[in-house]
Amino acid sequence: MKFPWRGYVNQLTYVAGLRHRADDELVERVADEVIRQRFFTLPVADYHRAATEALGSGERIAGEQDDEDATRDFLARLVRALDDRGPWPEPPYSTSGTSEWAALRDAPAVARVPLTERQIGAALNRVFAEEPPGVGDVRVLILRLRTGQQIALRASRPFAEPGVDLVTYDDPVSTVAAFGELTGIEVEPG
């Protein structure tokens, strides 16, 4: 199966405005953001692979308003910048699919996040999903922390009302501490 590079490349080049050659500062800033995984939320290796495959594809890779040579130059320099920063650190947290909710549904609430669902989503640059889809009674965001713990943030209040439960089967004390440290979000004991 062919790797779907185009969506990744569109993400990488969207903010660059590649009508002209990008300056080094922009290339370095995008490389840093890819590695931080706040705005580019997928694994660094996927963005690297997409840029590499796009450059070797022989297809047009620039967006409608962008210059092809400037886009190819930007991606080639971005690949080099990512290579120079390797090995890439594991992100502080990653999103797990809602299929993991079944395993966490009955986990105890070990803490409460005193923010709204929207504030948490903005802080983590992630989106809560309805579970079950289309019902909307419960919205969840499932994360795997770099430390290995898996958690679910469970919102069952109205969207704009503060108070989201942090549920997990992992050790409550170390999981709450790791969540706070890795996300920068303060929690209240459960």
pLDDT tens digits for range 83-135: 999 999 888 898 877 888 989 999 999 999 999 999 999 999 899 998 877 66
DSSP-derived secondary structure for 5-47: HHHHHHHHHHTT-TTSPPPHHHHHHHHHHHHHTSSS-S-HHHH
Of the pLDDT bands very low, low, confident and very high (cuts 50, 70, 90), residue 2 is low
Task: Please tell me whether the overall predicted TM-score, pTM, comes out greater than 0.85 for this model.
Answer: no
- Rounded Cα gap, residues 95 and 116, in angstroms: 19
pLDDT on residue 96: 78
**pLDDT digit string, tens, across residues 152-183:** 999 987 778 899 999 999 999 999 999 999 99
Beta bridge partner(s), residue 112: 165, 188
Question: What is the band of 42 on the pLDDT scale with cuts at 50, 70, 90?
Answer: confident
